[in-house]
Amino acid sequence: MEDLAKLEQEFQARIDRGEIIEPKDWMPERYRKQLIRMISQHAHSEVVGMLPEGNWISRAPSLRRKKVLLAKVQDEAGHGLYLYCAAETLGISRDEMIDLLHQGKAKYSSIFNYPSLTWADMGTIGWFVDGAAIVNQTMLAKGSYGPYARAMIRICKEESFHKKQGYEIVANMAKGTPAQRKMVQDAVNRWWWPSLMMFGPPDNNSPNSAELLKWKVKKNTNDELRQRFVNMTVKQAQAVKLTLPDPDLKYNEETGNWDYGQIDWDEFWNVVKGNGPMNRERMEAHRKAHDDGAWVREAARAYHAKKSGRNAA
């Protein structure tokens, strides 16, 4: 018992000195569990996040747009893979993580439970959702667990492209015909509040934050990052003359921040608990893709077994 307390103390001292924790280092069981929870949820989000955009690949308005969207969706699959690998370094397998998702025990980001109704949603998702992801992930890239932090660096580079392609679509539509302007404003109206919810519950109702901050997995709170995102996005909306759907949005001279209105936390929890507009459809699509891909996993395992048998012989 005394030994455990000493190990925990030494671990915290390493964190406080800003050292990076690697897979074979000693770590508290709770640190391992928290990271598995967070990284696996992040991985699931990347993969489920392919669905709302995948929906538009066959309907992109030009070959260029189709190629860009295809590449973006493919990038998200890659992000999922880096993240599953990072989580596997903590002693859980990808199969186990996916089982937990299918049993409803692991979550994925609330944002992907909203439908993508028009082409303007492709622009707005890139601008808001990837924009929010960058704010969150540049913070996570400085986190204490090596494999997660390193995965974040590469992911953030790709997310920057994603955000730019989204903002480009939005900017073009915003200076297009009245119908295009109307379509993009409608997408902005629908995605704004769910994007703010991506950052998680408010600090006074975020049970995991204290522990994650102590261990420097998170370096900022949910509200701090949400505010950073609002400040950044207001200016971008002004530049393309679109309105963010919040009558209470107001610059605060004292704090230098843009104050925003009340977020509907009932809606957020409802979506997190599985009752959002697209939760059932998203999980059905995930299960179907997983089942349809069973033969690929089986073939890969057989190939691997044969190859390692040959190498051993």
Site residues (vs ligand BYC, CB under 6 A): 37-38, 41-42, 45-46, 49, 76, 107, 109-110, 129-130, 133, 136, 197-201, 206-209, 212, 222, 272
Q: How far is the CB of 298 from ligand BYC (least distance, A)?
A: 28
Q: Which is nearer to ligand BYC, 157 or 175 (CB)?
A: 157
Give the C-alpha separation, 67 to 57, whole Å.
8
| Nearest CB to ligand BYC, comparing residues 101 and 272 | 272
Least gap, CB of 295 to ligand BYC (angstroms):
26
Q: Which is nearer to ligand BYC, 109 or 185 (CB)?
A: 109
Task: Using CB positions, name the residue nearest to ligand BYC.
Answer: 49
Other C-beta atoms closer than 10 Å to the C-beta of 265 total 12
Strand partners for 21 = 145
What is d(CA 129, CA 132) in angstroms, rounded to the nearest whole number? 5
- Judged by beta carbon, residue 104 or residue 293, the one nearer ligand BYC is 104
Tokens representing residue 207 in the block: 């049970």
**Contacts of residue 288, Cβ cutoff 8 Å, sequence gap at least 6:** none
Q: How far is the CB of 120 from ligand BYC (least distance, A)?
A: 16
Q: Could you tell me the smallest distance in angstroms from the CB atom of residue 216 to ligand BYC?
A: 13
Least distance (Å) between residue 306 CB and ligand BYC: 35
Is residue 149 within 8 Å of 140, Cβ to Cβ? yes
CB closer to ligand BYC out of 76 and 88: 76
Closer residue to ligand BYC, CB minimum distance, 46 or 246: 46
- Give the shortest CB-223-to-ligand BYC separation in angstroms: 10
Contact status, residue 201 vs residue 268, Cβ threshold 8 Å:
yes
CB of 110 to ligand BYC, least distance (A): 3
| CB of 181 or CB of 267, closer to ligand BYC | 267
**Alpha carbon distance 278, 271 (integer Å):** 9
